[in-house]
Amino acid sequence: MLALAQVVVIPAMFLAPVLADRSPSQYSVVVVAVTLTGAGTLGLLVAASTATVLWIVLLGLGQGACFSLALTFFALRAPDSEHAAALSGMAQSVGYLLAAGGPFLFGLLRDATHTWTVPLTLLVAVTVCLLITGLGAARDAHVGRV
């Protein structure tokens, strides 16, 4: 299933930035990407044994699109390359530091509860946060100069 998710990540990672660059606002691309992620996660949460391949494909497409959109926003929201580099350096440092704890926390919750319900519910909550921050990043505006 992990291999399948990684295979479907690839086209989503290439397509999402292209779609995002063609519009002054990226709201629809963000909503589609996060919806795919959320649908895949919810599917695994409530019906993992019935359509596992579908949920994994949706999750892979959504996560691939979300990741490449996050990287694309550095260039789209900065007024120039210098600011894009500064924004990228700050956001990726903090983002990767936070993301490093995710798999550990996910596994810890799974081991503590002996079920996937709690970690997947947390992942759904994180997806809601992703939608909120993604919609904020999708606004047609540049990050202010410091």
The pLDDT score that the predictor gives to residue 23 is: 82
Q: What is the mean pLDDT of each run of 10 residues along the chain (146 residues)?
A: 94 94 89 97 93 96 95 87 86 86 93 95 94 90 68
Residues 6+ apart with CB under 8 A from 28: none
The pLDDT score that the predictor gives to residue 87 is: 84
Domain edges within the chain: 2-137
The pLDDT score that the predictor gives to residue 139 is: 85
The pLDDT score that the predictor gives to residue 79 is: 85
pTM confidence score: 0.88
The pLDDT score that the predictor gives to residue 55 is: 97
Q: Which two tokens stand for residue 117?
A: 């319900």
Nearest to 43 by CA among 67, 62, 16, 21: 62
The pLDDT score that the predictor gives to residue 145 is: 57
